[in-house]
Amino acid sequence: MQGFGLLSLLTWLPIAGGLVVLLLGDRFLRGARWVALATSLAAFGASIPLYTGFNGGTADFQFVEHFTWIPAFHATYYLGVDGISMPLILLTTFITVPVIVAAWTVIEQRPAQYFAAFLIMEGLMIGVFSAMDSLLFYFFWEAMLIPMFLIIGVWGGPRRVYATLKFFLYTFLGSVFMLVALIYMNLKSPDFSIASFQNLPLTMHEQYWIFIAFLLAFAVKVPMVPVHTWLPDAHVEAPTGGSVVLAAIMLKMGGYGFLRFSLPITPDASRTLDWLIIGLSLIAVVYIGFVALVQTDMKKLIAYSSIAHMGFVTLGSFLVYDIFAAHQSVQGAGMGITGAMVQMISHGLISGALFLCVGVMYDRVHSREISAYGGVVNTMPKFAAFMVLFALANSGLPGTSGFVGEFLVIIAAFKANFWYAFLASMTLILGAAYTLWLVKRVIFGEVANHHVAELEDLNYREFIILGALAIAVIVVGLWPAPLTDAMEATVQHLVQQISLSKLSP
């Protein structure tokens, strides 16, 4: 019962702050803004004890809170974190602050509601990562769609209605089947807690169906090929903050779902169907990499790059069985999962930063087309430095966070199968190609037009948020040990768990 109430505080504080901002409204905009910033900072501050008080030596859930919620369904209000969810919660609280700051004066239409939507969503997302009861998890998972639907729909671009409906329907379709699977498992287990589902014996037949139901929900969220098509639309139409949260956090929920649900609950189905996930992941890495190369819209390019990078997450998560098969031991099998986790955190930081960079340019020129820019470095040298740093991180430069995750996954892929590693390594070429070509066309060269010539460099607000993200990217890149140490025990436990068959011998 250590740290009692901290997770509840993290979940409900932003929601309460969001409601206050909503009530203050645009009439008291100054107040609403400062309340929004104070809430997001308070949430970030409150999440730091989650790291400092975290015991990395155990795979047990920590900061546990357990109350009755719906005795009629045996569902409980059960929160807790382990090495997988703790970093993701920190990422969530960290990313929300720049999102609020970036929107400070930029949003002209209904700004108070904009801040409120992001704060409420922050609370719901933390709820998703800390829920240890699957019904509570589903509750937050679905509720989160509502603020995102409104964010894209109200503050989005010209095709926002199409994009937001597509986003909502895709995700909802996927998750309904997860709900059906959860209800099924609850019939056989005493309650809805994730732990009791993980211990539930299931036949192969059952595992197949449950695995597919989970796959539908999580694959849409990640998103994996071929259900990724909502993402480019949603990213392009969403306002800057919406893109940042979508890329940095919401996509991670799919990866988190695979690690928390699919692998431990259906280990045998995961073993027999891992070729499917690995295949789709490699397609994402290679094919989507090529697709990203030909984009003319900056946001779309980063969106496709996100799909490719998330391919590494799913690849790393499901390599574990091939490593077992190749080495007949669980030693080192966790490397893929550790890589996937680091990749999630790193991609959260980098993609968030890149979308903020696009936002900075969009606020000035009101175009996302690559062809509308050129030679930005001449007028915005500070901005160019940041943009180049994040671009290099996105292509996996050693010393940045982007390198660590990709490197671990590629090493794990080598342990499993040479050809997996070969295809995965294509990202080193493709990722560098599409990102650096983007930078070359936008940042360098002659000043392309009078819009670019009139650009003003970063103001102090933008400088602070991009600076904070840059520091995070470099720190995780140079010294990932605190992150990997915190998740080490959990990953080992997870590997143990999924190496045991649930089928009776």
Site residues for another protein per CB under 8 A: 68-73, 138-140, 142-143, 145-146, 149-150, 153-154, 160-161, 164-165, 168-169, 172-173, 176-177, 179-180, 183-184, 186-187
Q: How far is the CB of 136 from another protein (least distance, A)?
A: 10
Of the candidates 168, 47, 35, the one whose C-alpha atom is nearest the C-alpha of residue 100 is 35
Of 261 and 434, which CB lies nearer to another protein in the complex structure?
Answer: 261
Of 183 and 365, which CB lies nearer to another protein in the complex structure?
Answer: 183
Q: How far is the CB of 247 from another protein (least distance, A)?
A: 22
Of 68 and 105, which CB lies nearer to another protein in the complex structure?
Answer: 68
DSSP-derived secondary structure for 23-91: HHTGGGHHHHHHHHHHHHHHHHHHHHHHHHT--TT--S-EEEEEEEEEGGGTEEEEEEE-TTHHHHHHH
Q: How far is the CB of 100 from another protein (least distance, A)?
A: 21
Residue 67: beta bridge partners?
A: 77
Distance separating alpha carbons of residues 69 and 129, to the nearest angstrom: 18
Of 72 and 481, which CB lies nearer to another protein in the complex structure?
Answer: 72
Of 186 and 314, which CB lies nearer to another protein in the complex structure?
Answer: 186
The first and second tokens of residue 503, run together, are 């089928």
Of the candidates 221, 217, 218, 225, the one whose C-alpha atom is nearest the C-alpha of residue 234 is 221
Q: How far is the CB of 79 from another protein (least distance, A)?
A: 15
The first and second tokens of residue 126, run together, are 């933390």
CA distances to 92, 125, 179, 217, 266 from 137, in Å: 16, 10, 10, 13, 18
Q: How far is the CB of 253 from another protein (least distance, A)?
A: 15
Of the candidates 355, 346, 345, the one whose C-alpha atom is nearest the C-alpha of residue 438 is 355
Of 154 and 474, which CB lies nearer to another protein in the complex structure?
Answer: 154
User: Are the beta carbons of 498 and 270 closer than 8 angstroms?
Assistant: yes
Of 79 and 410, which CB lies nearer to another protein in the complex structure?
Answer: 79
Q: How far is the CB of 397 from another protein (least distance, A)?
A: 41
Neighbours of 474 (CB within 10 A): 16
Cβ-in-10-Å burial (0-12, 13-18, 19+) of 191 comes to middle
Q: How far is the CB of 128 from another protein (least distance, A)?
A: 12
Q: How far is the CB of 424 from another protein (least distance, A)?
A: 34
Of 145 and 302, which CB lies nearer to another protein in the complex structure?
Answer: 145
Of 82 and 237, which CB lies nearer to another protein in the complex structure?
Answer: 237
Instruction: Match 């700004």 to its residue by tokens.
Output: 111
Say whether 133 sits in a helix, a strand or coil: strand
Of 177 and 324, which CB lies nearer to another protein in the complex structure?
Answer: 177
Question: Side chain identity at 69, as an amino acid letter?
Answer: W
Q: What secondary structure, in 3-state letters, does 363-417 show?
A: HHHCCCEHHHCCCHHHHCHHHHHHHHHHHHHHCCCCCCHHHHHHHHHHHHHHHHC
Q: How far is the CB of 123 from another protein (least distance, A)?
A: 11
Distance separating alpha carbons of residues 228 and 283, to the nearest angstrom: 12
Of 165 and 433, which CB lies nearer to another protein in the complex structure?
Answer: 165
The first and second tokens of residue 168, run together, are 């909502």
Q: How far is the CB of 176 from another protein (least distance, A)?
A: 5
Q: How far is the CB of 161 from another protein (least distance, A)?
A: 6
User: Within a 13 Å sphere around the CA of 82, how many CA atoms are in the beta-carbon half?
Assistant: 21
